[in-house]
Amino acid sequence: MSAAFPIWVLVVDYVLGLVMWTLIGRSAMNLFQPENSDFFFMKAFVRLTNPLLRLWKPITPQFLLPALVPLYVAWFFYMARFYVMPWLMGYSVMGMLSFPLEGEIAALIYALFK
């Protein structure tokens, strides 16, 4: 599947996708762990995402619960992947072409369980 896309598209999409999923993971993990937890994965999620949350703080509504702020920021990355990436590639419609990262993962899962 990746051969159909230029390398710059894959790199940009993978970076945006990893950031988006890391932010979602932080929100999900925050349901079970406090942000200052000693759990290794929570420390890693907090350390990786705090710079982004600080960067987005000026446009983050103050009424949001702290646990939802990473989801709010992840939403922007999702929107960039869904609308900006196809536009940069010259497509006039949105769809599965917006998510090469998830397409690769789905193809891998399909191949494993085929």
CA–CA separation, 58 and 98 (whole Å) = 28
Residue type, 80: A
The total of structural domains in the chain comes to: 1
Residues 6+ positions from 47 with CB-CB distance below 8 Å: none
Show the domain range for 101: 2-112
Per-residue pLDDT of the chain (114 residues; tens, 9 = 90+): 445 777 887 888 889 999 999 999 999 999 999 989 999 989 999 999 999 999 999 999 999 999 899 999 999 999 888 877 777 776 655 555 556 777 778 788 888 998
Tokens 């932080």 belong to which residue? 26
Q: Which two tokens stand for residue 36?
A: 């200052």
